[in-house]
Amino acid sequence: MEVFLYNNFNRKFAKDFWLLFAAVILIIVLSFICGSFTPYDPHALKTGGLLEPPGIKHIFGTDDHGRDVLSRVLAGSRTSILSSIILVLLSCTFGTALGVICGYFGGLIDIILMRINDIFLAFPGMILAVAIAGLLGGGLFNALIAIFVTSWTQYARLARSQTMVQKEEAFVHAAKLSGCSDINIMFVHILPNIISTLIVTAAMNVSVAMMGIAGLSFLGFGVKIPHAEWGSMISEGKKYLQTAPWMALAPAGVMVFVMIIFNLFGEKLRDILAA
C-alpha cells in the first residue's frame, strides 16, 4: 500500500512538473509569435474609439489613444518575457563563471572579485538599477544593463560557495593527479555538480527580472512610451484607474499570471532536482 501511494505521488509530481514545463514553453513561444501577429496595430494612433471598455471587438478595451490594449499586451510580451529570459541567462552565465573561478583559485583574485561583489550587494538592487539606468539614459538596452549589474552577484556568491565545497572532493584531487587542466576541472568536473542549484535559482529569477524591467519602464527609465511593454503600459494606465482601469489592469494581470507560472515551475524544478 505504501509503495502504491509513493508511486502514485511520484507520477502526480512528475505530471505537475511537465504541465508547468509545457506552460512555460507555450508562454515563450506565444510571446515570440504573438508579438508579431496582433489583432490590431499596437502602435497606430486613432482619433476615435478612445477608452472603449472591454467588449467583443476589443477584448481588453482601448487606451487613451484608441489603441487596442490586447494587441499592446501581446506586443509587449516579447519585450517583457524574452528580455527577462535573456537577462537571466546572461547574469547566470557571467556570475557562475566568476563564482567558480573565485571558489576554485581563492587567494587574491577571490578577494578582489568578492569585494566588488560586496559593493554591489551593499545597495538595494532596484535602487542601484534606477541609479545606473538614470546615468545611462532610457531604453530597453540600458535597462537590461542596469539590472544585469545588480543581478549577477547572487549567482557568483552561490557558485563560489558550492565550488569551495566541491574542490575538496576526491574526484577533483583525482582529476588533478591525472593531469587535467584547471579549466577542465572547473567546467567539466565541478560545474556539472553545482549546476542544478544555479538552474533553479535562474528559473525562480525570471519573474524577478520581469518585475525589474517593468519597474524601470514604469518609472520612465526603461522602455519608452509609446513602445509596448507591460511596465510602461501600467504607467500609462495609472492616470485612468478610475475611468478606464483596464488600461493598467490588463497588462498587470497578464504579468502577474506569467510570473506565477515561472515561480511555480521554479519551485517544482527545485523539488525534482533536490529529490
pLDDT tens-digit readout, 112-130: 988 888 888 888 888 888 8
Q: Which residue has the cell 524574452?
A: 82
Q: Tell me the C-alpha distance between 273 and 203, whole Å.
A: 13
Put simply, whether the predicted model's pTM sits higher than 0.85 gets the answer yes
Domain membership of residue 23 (yes or no) is: no
Residue 28 and residue 262 in contact, taking contact as beta carbons nearer than 8 Å: no
Q: pLDDT tens digits for 36-82?
A: 788 888 888 887 788 899 999 999 999 988 899 999 999 999 889 99
The CATH number linked to 157 is 1.10.3720.10
CA atoms within 13 A on the CB side of 206: 27
The answer to whether residue 5 sits within a structural domain is no
Which grid cell is 250? 490588463
> How many residues comprise the chain?
275
Question: What percentage of the chain carries pLDDT values higher than 70?
Answer: 94
Helix (H, G, I), strand (E, B) or coil at 62: strand
What was the pLDDT predicted at 50? Answer: 87
Residue 98 pairs with which residues in a beta bridge? none
Phi-psi label, residue 38: left if phi above 0, alpha if psi -120 to 50, beta otherwise: beta
The number of folded domains in the chain is 1
Over the chain, what is the mean pLDDT? 88
Q: What band does 260 get if pLDDT is binned at 50, 70 and 90? A: very high
- Single-letter residue type at 98: L
pLDDT at 146 over 80: yes
Residue 121 covered by a domain: yes
Mean pLDDT of 152-157: 93
Domain of residue 173, residue span: 77-274
What span, in angstroms and rounded, lies between the C-alpha atoms of 128 and 178? 46
pLDDT band at 10 (very low <50, low <70, confident <90, very high): low
